[in-house]
Amino acid sequence: MASIALVQPMTTARALRGPFDYRIPEELREHGVGVGSMLVVPFGRRELLGVVVGLSDRSDVAEDKLLAPLRALELGVPVELVALAEWVAREYCSTFARALALVLPPGAARRLSGRRRGARSAAEHVPLGGTGPDALELTAEQRAALEPVLEALRDARHERRLLHGVTGSGKTEIYLQAAAAALARDRGAIVLVPEIALTPQIVTRFVERFGDTVAVLHSRLTAAQRYEHWRRLREGSARVCVGPRSAAFAPVSALGLLIVDEEHDSAYKHEGDPRYDAREVAAERARSAGAVLLLGSATPRPETALRALTSVIARRPDGRALPPVRVLDMREVGTGLHPETEQALAQVRSEGGKAIVLLNRRGWSNFLSCRSCGNVWSCPQCDVALVLHRAGGYLACHHCGHRESAPTACSVCASTAVARHGAGTERLAHDLAALFDDGAFPVFRLDADVVAGSPGAAGGGHDAARAEGVASLLARFAKADQGVLIGTQMVAKGHDFPDVRLGVVLDADATLRFPDFRAEERTFALVAQLAGRVGRGGEGVVLVQTIAPQARAIVHAARHDSAGFLAAELERRRALSYPPFSQLVRVVLGADSAADARAAAMAVRARMLEGLPPSGASLLGPAPLFRLRGRERQVLVLKADDRRLAAAAVGDAVQHTASGRAHAGVTFSVDVDPQ
Ligand SMILES: [Zn+2]
Ligand SMILES: [Zn+2]
């Protein structure tokens, strides 16, 4: 019986590296302290929550110096999630403690005063299996896509599969039947969705089909409800977990199936440290559990298409064709609405039905300038222009959240001639309402400004308010007899309104102008996904306004040619040696002065070059990055053949540079697979 517990204290300090040895007292040994147990330990003068990450019979610490934990919490973390956290820390150059924080029960840190183990009675028994509607009849294509998943489940074999099905091809029914098959074999399932509020249908269908055995981790839950779901999963009374990216860490035991719906969605990438990608976490979890990973999308990412076994569903079960897409050349028209777009909207208003208009830019005007002296209003903290939000009467920085009153005169020359440039969703909603809203054809606006809170924030009231706002707006649009929904890319996500007969994408090439190798993939997905929302219940048409009508992403999207786009995109990536044919790791260094950021970047670079293999890797930079939140920034990008070697070299260089005194005050941010 092991007498020493290796405990990783939960602290965010990068410099403090555990685990540390603690003596397991008799009393706790009887309760079966093991890997994954959560302990409250004395640490210096503090009490910290810690996770047991290993056991040993002996310690290098002298007997009389060994401390004992103060107590153990009732439920620990499953062993396999401790291993997963270790993998996340290594893979994303983070610390073990930060990665462990992802797998702890919700509110764990606040439960320091929690009860001892064993205090709780046995979990209530909830029967497994279907409680709601029966499985639907599958088409031949759907059956062909489901069959290999069932086979892999039968053989308890790990497989990475892609379900490449056109929008409306009935992917959810395949997920449901695959999950039922996993449950029948006494294995659990996790279903990841980009954002619960934007995809209520899939949640409803899982709950209808599986009843109480489903735990849904949506953002409107209180901390106590969240913990309750975690506990039900941990104790096995719930076997299916549906949730956003954080659900990749749900304590589902005997995992047999991991589903990632809308796998192309960038919401799967976490922007805090560790900068994990839930799709990769799901892949690693599926691999180690011998489970099936099922990724679904109408517009899969090139890396997924390359690495996964693919099943294609080209036809919708109801036999409806995808709507025709017309590309409207805006080079002659300038900005605003193309005459054909205006006519199509008028037609929807007069004949009945609904329209969705996508403009991926918030606010009223992109930027303001002075007509006399050319002064551009920009953020005092960041090197970017401020966006005018007219209704609120303020200018906002979309990078740091800085706000100031909308100006009436130039701050440099006092001229009152202030020019507004470009249009965002606020302006568009206003213009469309002026053109079309006669009371019977209302304009609904969906963007981050009209629904409170910010996307991707973890938990908390902000997120709940946002979810509430999105859900109620979509419900109002669904209930309306007629109308137009305008908004940012949120309007192109997985929701399903049968009476939408017109879809419009404005400034479709805007995403192409980002200096990013994923720009084409994003543009294609945006246009194709919006097209997929149209004509679900009958006829429909999609109009795409662009000044780049020949762009490959737009041409392929207009033809609904996802396979053709993927093939060409993979060819381009191969030629340029971009992912998935290489690995990218980005290191961003921030400091108060440009010189400090630069010096730290040079130090990281020098150390990295020592650790890299002589071939198969190239290091770009340091290069300056625009100032953000008052911090001067420098960026280094490592392109390498071997992911593990690259992550290790970067991890070592950052750790080494960050722990020295020479670069105090510099912040280090590592992003493996930047998105
Ligand atoms: Zn001026
Ligand atoms: Zn700013």
Q: Which two tokens stand for residue 410?
A: 């130039």
Q: Provide the phi-psi class of 568: left if phi over 0, else alpha when psi is between -120 and 50, else beta.
A: alpha
Q: Which amino acid is at 357?
A: V
Q: How far is the CA of 373 from the centre of ligand 1 (A)?
A: 4
Tokens 């000044």 found at: 547
Write out the two tokens for 531: 């097209």
d(C-alpha 428, C-alpha 433), whole Å: 8
Domain 325-362+424-575 is of which CATH architecture?
3-Layer(aba) Sandwich (3.40)
Judge contact between 598 and 586, C-beta under 8 A.
no
Residue 116 has a pLDDT of 38
DSSP-derived pairing of the beta strands 354-358 and 255-260: unpaired
Cα of 629 to ligand 1 centre, how many Å? 25
d(CA 198, CA 497): 12
SS3 140: helix
How is residue 393 written in tokens?
Answer: 């009467």
Rounded to the nearest whole angstrom, what is the distance from the C-alpha of residue 415 to the centroid of ligand 1? 5
Class of the domain covering 583-672: alpha beta
Which ligand is closest in space to the CA of residue 377? 1
DSSP 494-540: S---TTEEEEEESSTTGGGGSSSTTHHHHHHHHHHHHHHTSSTTS--
Phi then psi for residue 506, to 5 deg, are -95, 145
Q: Which CATH superfamily is domain 140-313 in?
A: P-loop containing nucleotide triphosphate hydrolases (3.40.50.300)
State the span(s) of the chain assigned CATH 3.40.50.300.
Answer: 140-313, 325-362+424-575
Measured in angstroms, how far is the CA atom of residue 413 from the centroid of ligand 1? 4
pTM for the model stands at 0.90
CA 380 to centroid of ligand 2, rounded, Å: 7
Ligand 2 centroid to Cα of residue 640, in Å, is: 33
CA distances from 549 to 329, 512, 567 (A): 6, 12, 20
The pLDDT, as a whole number, for residue 109 is 61
In this structure, the number of other CB atoms found within 10 A of the CB of residue 324 comes to: 15
Q: Where in the chain is the domain with CATH 3.40.1440.60?
A: 4-111
pLDDT at 110: 60
Sorted by sequence, the CB contacts under 8 Å of residue 294 that are 6+ apart come out as 149, 161, 163, 175, 178, 257, 258, 259, 260
Residue 653: how many other CB atoms lie within 10 Å: 26
Which residues have CB atoms below 5 A from the ion given as ligand 2?
379, 381-382, 397, 399-400, 402
Q: How far is the CA of 374 from the centre of ligand 1 (A)?
A: 6
Pick the ligand that lies closest to the CA of residue 382.
2
Minimum-distance ligand to the CA of 411?
1
Q: 365 CA distance to ligand 2 centroid (A)?
A: 16
Q: How far apart are CA 371 and CA 365, in angstroms?
A: 15
Strand order in the sheet with 20-23: 20-23, 4-9, 46-56, 38-43, 71-72
CA–CA gap between residue 251 and residue 274 (Å, rounded): 19
pLDDT of residue 450: 83
Low pLDDT (below 50) residues in the chain: 112-130, 453-460
User: Which CATH architecture is the domain 4-111 placed in?
Assistant: 3-Layer(aba) Sandwich (3.40)
